[in-house]
Amino acid sequence: MIEVPEVVSLCYDVGWRDKNLIAMVAIVGAESNYDESFSDGTRLGLFALRVNTADSEDLLDPNQAAKVAREIYEENYFIEWPSWVIGKYLQYVKPAVHGAGEFYVQLFEKELIGG
């Protein structure tokens, strides 16, 4: 399992911002329960991407999977993820907001102390 602020960081690093950042982090929770080794036979990894989307090793690497997920999002918005379509991701919005708060505090602290 990956901590929610780390998922926020992964998503932030590949370009998600604002409400779409929160939505993607919530979707990750709904789809994989923040488990980078998630597999249901058709979807794989933290972002629960279809196994035919990319190399399986890339889907199991959270950094690579974040990049693939972002490419999918840019083509089809969040439609690829069933939890978005049926609204299951809404159950994970509060943890996503909390995780984003922790992430931003850490980001600002790094900037304030210069490192």
- Summarised one tens digit per residue, pLDDT across range 60-83 is 999 999 999 999 999 999 999 999
- In the predicted structure, residue 93 carries a pLDDT above the cut 70: yes
What confidence score (pLDDT) does residue 112 get? 76
- In the predicted structure, residue 115 carries a pLDDT above the cut 60: no
Q: Copy the structure tokens of residue 6.
A: 């780390």
> How far is 76 from 22, CA to CA, in rounded Å?
17
Indicate the pLDDT class of residue 89, thresholds 50, 70 and 90.
very high
pTM of the model: 0.92
Would you give the DSSP letter of residue 90?
G
Helices (H) and strands (E) in the chain, counts: 6, 2
Q: What is the pLDDT of residues 17-54, one digit of tens each?
A: 999 999 999 999 999 999 999 999 899 999 999 988 76
What confidence score (pLDDT) does residue 99 get? 96
